[in-house]
Structure 1
């Protein structure tokens, strides 16, 4: 039997300059826990998987809102593994993020692993106010150790003040367009990641487009935003490159 569940997070700035969580609503396998934040005045939420999910046929969603002036980081306790289900229907995982004026959201989940035989359609939609800041990390691992990948479709749509910054769709595995694993796309790599940073400060001075390595590139986007895209042999190498990029993109200017 498939699972349908939605988890919800709302972060707001309280009267003492800190960030409160008036809504922290778990759903199905998506258990939400407030954990210690690294920065003063911020809140941190960790998603803890309460059961194996998503399975084929499941419909899961997370909705997160950072209200005006709030500072929120959302992570996960472990990797998410897309697994085959009892039927032929694909699983779906929707993420909806809203960041209001003067707010900051760091969306930093662990890897999503596409297990052999699974099919997952994932969609992330982000709405940003003009003065909002955001860091979003996405890491996709194609197959567990010693197995081939499942089918994975991932779409990321980001809008700032109603105008698009980024709208892209990726497809891997059986049923994906031909050439997805060819030398012009993955070239045999099994770990794919990206880091999107949106910061109003980039209007004045921001990173320049350029290579970060043989299989990593930083692209300056309109918005103001920067996108780092990485291919790697494994999850460890992928995280190392993305962590270095995050440090550089958030380092104080000067």
Structure 2
């Protein structure tokens, strides 16, 4: 029988300036206790899915709401795994991120693993009020190339939607050789990643160009530079993308870019989630 799970995280800022979490869950989704490694203003949390993966018909729904002035950082202790699914309904993960005026959210899950034979849908939906800013990433590995288990069959659909600002859909079908192998597609790389800074208020030209220049300078010094680029598709978003043969160098680069954007966009020191060191 498929497992359906829902987790609702609601962050608010109290009169003292501390960000507090109120949460509800149904099914096998949990959140670890709140941590404050950089003081009371920023609440760090880790989402846990005890089964460890999704199979045919499973559905995970995660809602994160950050109230005005609050700041939350959310990560995971391990990869999201979409396992083999020979037939029937696809497995689905749906994430909704809603930021009220002046809120900040860092959505930093570890990678998504699309196993050979999976049928999966991975959706992220955004609602960002004026003055709010989201720093988020999505990292995907097709198959397990290091273990000699390529993505030879199956399909993963990726969907990002910020109504009126950004809409992106991708269908990664293992049988689509043109997409997976072509130099204008994934060029035979099995790992791909997107990092975004999404702003409810348009970036000024000066701020946009300064952030792009900083990102590009960091990228140029990294081994993935030939398959990585940063751009602003509109005046409310900065987007960085990269391809790689394996996830590890992508995560290394993404963590460095996260630290850079935290410093350059928000004037904050990098404070990696403790779970990244475990």
Say yes or no: TM over 0.5: yes
**For the Cα contact (< 8 Å) 2:193–2:243, is it kept in 1?**
yes
How much has 1:177 moved relative to structure 2? 8.1
| Structure with the bigger percentage of strand | 1
**For the Cα contact (< 8 Å) 2:174–2:180, is it kept in 1?**
no
Among 149, 155, 161, which residue is 1:151 paired with?
155
Distance in 1 (alpha carbons) for counterparts of 2:67 and 2:191: 33
CA-based RMSD of the aligned residues comes to 2.2
Distance in 2 (alpha carbons) for counterparts of 1:28 and 1:178: 39
Question: What does residue 139 of structure 1 align with?
Answer: 139
**For the Cα contact (< 8 Å) 1:7–1:25, is it kept in 2?**
yes
Distance in 1 (alpha carbons) for counterparts of 2:34 and 2:150: 35
Distance in 2 (alpha carbons) for counterparts of 1:201 and 1:87: 44
- Select between 78-87 and 135-144 the one with higher mean Cα deviation: 78-87
**For the Cα contact (< 8 Å) 1:230–1:241, is it kept in 2?**
no
- Select between 177-186 and 114-123 the one with higher mean Cα deviation: 177-186
**For the Cα contact (< 8 Å) 2:14–2:20, is it kept in 1?**
yes
Q: Give the match's secondary structure for 1:202.
A: coil
Distance in 2 (alpha carbons) for counterparts of 1:187 and 1:252: 32
How much has 1:201 moved relative to structure 2? 8.1
Q: Deviation string for 1:61-111 (max 9, x for gaps)?
A: 101100111111111011111012474221111111100001000000000
Question: What does residue 48 of structure 2 align with?
Answer: 48
Question: What does residue 36 of structure 2 align with?
Answer: 37
State yes or no: 1:249 paired with 2:261: yes
State yes or no: 1:196 paired with 2:200: no
TM-score normalized with structure 1 length: 0.90
**Structure 1 unaligned regions, length at least 5:** none
Distance in 1 (alpha carbons) for counterparts of 2:10 and 2:229: 33
**Structure 2 unaligned regions, length at least 5:** 220-224, 268-278
The 5 A counterparts of 1:53-64 are: 53-64=53-64
Question: What does residue 248 of structure 2 align with?
Answer: 236
Distance in 1 (alpha carbons) for counterparts of 2:111 and 2:192: 10
**For the Cα contact (< 8 Å) 1:29–1:52, is it kept in 2?**
no
Distance in 2 (alpha carbons) for counterparts of 1:74 and 1:201: 24
How much has 1:176 moved relative to structure 2? 5.1
How much has 1:56 moved relative to structure 2? 1.4
**For the Cα contact (< 8 Å) 1:6–1:62, is it kept in 2?**
yes
